[in-house]
Amino acid sequence: MRRFLDRLYFGSGVLAAAALAAIAVLVLAQTVGRLAGVLVPSANELAGYCVAASAFLGLAPTLNHGAHIRVRLLTQALPESLQRWFEGWCLLLALGLSAYAAWFAVDLVLGSWRYGDVSPGLLAVPLWIPQLGVAAGLLVFTVSLADNFLRLVRGRDPLYRMAEETEAVR
Amino acid sequence: MNPVEIGLLLVVVLFVLLGTGVWVALSLLAVGLFAMSVFTSAPVGLALGTSFWGSIATWSLAPLPLFVWMGEILFRSRLSEDMYGGLAPWLRRLPGRLLHVNVLGCGVFAAVSGSSAATAATIGRMSIPELRRRGYDEKMIIGTLAGSGTLGLLIPPSIILIVYGISAEVSIARLFIAGILPGLMLVALFMCYVMAWSLVHPQRTPPPDPPLPLLDRLRASTRLIPVLALIVAVIGSIYVGVATPTEAAALGVVGALILAAGTGGLSGRSFLDGLMGAMRTSTMIVFILACAAFLTTAMGYTGVPRLLAQWIAEQNLSPYALLAALTLFFIVLGCFLDGISVVVLTTSVILPMVKAAGIDPIWFGIFLVIVVEMSQITPPVGFNLFVLQGLTQRNIFRIAVAALPFFFLLLAAVVLVTVFPGLATWLPQRVSGG
């Protein structure tokens, strides 16, 4: 199970990074194409979809690297045992919010699929394809929050704990 | 409940969430959900899905991840050494000598980087050990670096100006150009302060290194050519209007890769590290933007910002009084929150009020960013302070004290930009390309 989860987060992160690189490639292709007089169809829309895919697929790996910012000033001053209660509250609330958002992201995908919505540009991309990146990212994020919450309940540290500690020292 | 009470309640909820350690993005999302489901009858989930998708899947956001990536590549390159080696030989005669390397180095690096922490870290990595070894005053080394690092936010490209531009729906190209003159003014202010300080305390500046012959100095400066070329390519192309900020950012990524490869700082490993690091930073920021976009929608349904704007308009405050109050409010907020959160909260709630007072949104963006720069060096939460803590191993409050003069210089810059708004608005008006 552990190996599967770690691979899931890693895979999600690799896809997010690939989407980021794809933004650069698309924009460059369009710029070079404009100079050479070749039209790269729908590059603007596609780059926008890559921004969304990159940001949402990156959610879980970013969480586990402790890179989502938060205010730890007050909770840090508490004794260790109390800190764990606050951590549990943060994770549980985050889990609820993420699950809620994931639900409606899936709803958005299903809606676009059912009504056959397509992108406005030259290439009529069915909208459910890029929206799938958002939904999948939020689902993996929800899984990683549940994973971290269960770790905490079982008395272990959340995955991002180490990264946050070294961040504070670095 | 009247809107003022609703507004206050939401502020309390937000601060409880943030204070208990809930991630910033999710706190914004939670407040938005709370506001919308308790005080309106609009379909919450539907609004959530569409505002996430509508605000994020857009071409205008593309420069953000790209500029973050460019910064990550340059941070891993040998630019830090080249900047020090290229700048230092010219600054030995100025009062304050090599302390100016920190100010100018940050100023130049800010023109290829969009972040304040990265600017301070890149320049400081090389200059702190060099200046310490020569016996420069530690307080001034730290202060100049902390202060000038914040230039990364104002001098284009700037991540935070992109965040402001997206959420306030203002042209990013114009914002970038508006940041140039105030940024140069800050460099000048910082350098003047360093000179004045060293004239007052001549015994605390170590003796100069023997002067280099002009030819050697010129040879040393050739190390600056790649970074200057990159600045011209990125900012120049936006300024002349041949490239949109997105295109300039893609160009910047390629330029940074070439620069890193050319100076021997690029391996497969550092390329992948840079890309993954950029993905995480940009995810963090874009997710905050997504949640802030939903908060803006939710606040719009509750009508609180509109009523707040009305209320302010009825007070007949002068714009100066309003700005003074806002400055104070942002400084306090900035002590506890990072710059991006301050900006998105501002655009969600306060911007309608600012527009109602007849303040130009481009000018307000520059004003806001300078105030946010101050928040980078105020304890307990100041990102530049954290960076310098890492680089120097000194206590964070000692670093904050060293940075204090620069806090006041930034405050002076806020006053100057308010009294002479042309500093921010004149240059963008010269540019045709929007």
Q: What is the 3-state secondary structure (H, E, C) of chain A?
A: CHHHHHHHHHHHHHHHHHHHHHHHHHHHHHHHHHHHCCCCCCHHHHHHHHHHHHHHHCHHHHHHCCCCCCCCHHHHCCCHHHHHHHHHHHHHHHHHHHHHHHHHHHHHHHHHHHHCCECCCCCCCECHHHHHHHHHHHHHHHHHHHHHHHHHHCCCCCCCHHHHHHHHHC
Across the interface, which of B26, B65, B336 has its CB nearest the CB of A71? B336
Helix, strand or coil for residue B382?
Answer: coil
pTM comes to 0.91
The per-residue pLDDT for A165 is 66
Check residue A74 and give its pLDDT: 84
Report the pLDDT value the prediction gives residue A169, as an integer from 0 to 100. Answer: 38
Tell whether the model's pLDDT for residue A94 goes beyond 70. yes
How many Å apart are CA B413 and CA B179, to the nearest integer? 12
For B57, the closest of A67, A75, A130 (CB atoms) is A130
Residue B48: which of A23, A54, A104 has the nearest Cβ?
A104
Helix or strand or coil: residue B62?
coil
Mean pLDDT of B239-262: 92
**CA Rg value for chain B:** 22
What value does the mean pLDDT take over residues A120-146?
93
Contact B136, B205 (CB under 8 A): yes
Percent of chain B with pLDDT over 90: 60
CA A78 to chain B, closest CA, distance in angstroms equals 11
**pLDDT higher at B305 or B365:** B365
State how far residue A25 is from chain B, nearest Cα, in angstroms.
Answer: 8
Give burial (CB, 10 Å; 0-12/13-18/19+) of B1. Answer: exposed
CB contact under 8 A, A70 and B22: yes
Find residue A118's DSSP bridge partners: A126
Residue B432 is predicted with a pLDDT of 56
Share of chain B above pLDDT 70, in %: 99
Partner-chain residue, chosen from A31, A56, A72, that has the shortest CB–CB distance to B21: A72
pLDDT band at residue B409 using 50, 70 and 90 as cut-offs: very high
A-B contacts at Cβ under 8 angstroms: 180
| B50 contacts on A by Cβ (under 8 Å) | 108
In chain B, which residues have their Cβ closer than 8 Å to the Cβ of A31?
Answer: 243, 247, 250-251
Q: Which residues of B touch A94 (CB under 8 A)?
A: 22-23, 26
Lowest mean pLDDT among B38-47, B352-361, B378-387: B378-387
- Phi/psi of residue B145, nearest 5 degrees: -70, -45
